[in-house]
Structure 1
């Protein structure tokens, strides 16, 4: 849903990429999950390997759902487009940029 401003936006965003240096914000959404029904946002290094992101960031967050199974098969998406992941590739190498939405479904 788009937002329509009633005035001119005359100040810089407080979450613009320049403020994060070697880090970035990544939104994570577990599709079709009713326990974690909305995306969470994490500040992570751009160079973080995907496998480390999953085990160090995503799985601890997802573990709050009692039905979560670490290491389960997942289908990945970046901003609604399918994503082929490699555990050794950095977030940047996979095309996961600042404020992108990384989502997954449990297969």
Structure 2
């Protein structure tokens, strides 16, 4: 349902990129897992490698599911496009992962 403001709203968004400096917000969604029915949001350095992002941010979050096995992560997507992180040494920025991007994965 749409909301109609009674006045002009002139406040900048609190989650805009310039607020976070060298960091960015990233949404991560584990597709097909009923325990995580929606994406979670994390703050991560733009220069962080993809491997470090997975090891330091995604794996600890996903480990709250007792069936999670880190080696079973497959099929990464950036929004709805396939994402091939290669060997994982590239930074998030080098992979085209920007502020408020949605990363999705499944497990085997």
> Would the TM-score normalized by the shorter structure come out above 0.5?
yes
Q: TM-score, normalised by structure 1?
A: 0.91
- Distance in 1, matches of 2:9 and 2:45, equals 29
Hey, what does 1:99 align to over in structure 2? Answer: 100
1:41-86 CA deviation, whole Å, 9 max, x = no partner? 1000000000000111000000000110012241000111111113
Hey, what does 2:83 align to over in structure 1? Answer: 83
Hey, what does 1:60 align to over in structure 2? Answer: 60
Query: What is the CA distance between 1:5 and its match in structure 2?
Result: 4.6
State the aligned residue count.
105
Q: Unaligned stretches of 5+ in structure 1? A: none
How large is the RMSD of aligned CA atoms in angstroms? 1.4
Runs of 4+ in 1 over 3 A off after TM superposition: none
Hey, what does 1:72 align to over in structure 2? Answer: 72
Hey, what does 1:13 align to over in structure 2? Answer: 13
Q: Unaligned stretches of 5+ in structure 2? A: none
Q: Decide which structure has the larger Cα Rg and report it.
A: 2
Q: TM-score, normalised by structure 2?
A: 0.90
- Distance in 2, matches of 1:62 and 1:73, equals 10
